């Protein structure tokens, strides 16, 4: 009986510590500001399926001329993807279709882009999309920006 209670206590303590570390990591990412919720689908086919597969929920952070994208369900302190402003080309936007509506946040808008020849899709709120497009267009003089 004592062994069972000890094991349950250890498991509960590990779960609490794990949840605390998730929260702490998110606070560290958001500490410098300029963050927004953003789902990412990397290396998308020419005609993406509406099955909702391939989406990863994350947090994106503006850092100078880059967007740093972090997975939410990870303990890594480094960004999973880094997108340079000069290398991002926006191909279009659309609303989620089919099962994508279940895989993404309720108010998400999907932005189809390419980054250094790789097709990707970013899903974010309308407000975050407005900020993202403004950030893209605010490139320093002499840099090309391709926004459809």
- pLDDT single digits (tens) 13-30: 999 988 888 777 777 777
**What pLDDT does residue 92 have?**
92
Average pLDDT over residues 2-8: 88
Residues 98, 80: Cα–Cα separation, whole Å: 27
**What pLDDT does residue 19 have?**
85
**What pLDDT does residue 146 have?**
61
For residue 145, pLDDT over 90 is answered with no
Among 41-55, 63-77, 108-122, which stretch is predicted with the lowest mean pLDDT?
41-55
Residues 146, 148: Cα–Cα separation, whole Å: 6
For residue 49, pLDDT over 70 is answered with no
Model confidence at 118, pLDDT cuts 50, 70, 90, reads very high
**DSSP annotation of 87:** G
């Amino acid at each position: 009986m004592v062994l069972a209670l000890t094991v349950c206590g250890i498991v509960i303590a590990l779960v609490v510590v794990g949840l605390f570390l998730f929260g702490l990591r998110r606070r560290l990412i958001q500490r410098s500001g300029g963050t927004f919720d953003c789902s990412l689908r990397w290396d998308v086919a020419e005609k993406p399926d509406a099955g909702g597969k391939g989406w990863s929920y994350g947090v994106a952070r503006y850092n100078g001329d880059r967007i740093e994208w972090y997975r939410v369900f990870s303990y890594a302190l480094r960004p999973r993807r880094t997108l340079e402003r000069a290398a991002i080309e926006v191909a279009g936007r659309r609303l989620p279709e089919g099962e994508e509506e279940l895989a993404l946040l309720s108010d998400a808008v999907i932005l189809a882009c390419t980054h250094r020849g790789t097709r990707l899709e970013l899903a974010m709120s309308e407000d975050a999309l407005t900020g993202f497009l403004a950030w893209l267009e605010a490139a320093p003089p002499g840099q090309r920006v391709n926004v459809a």
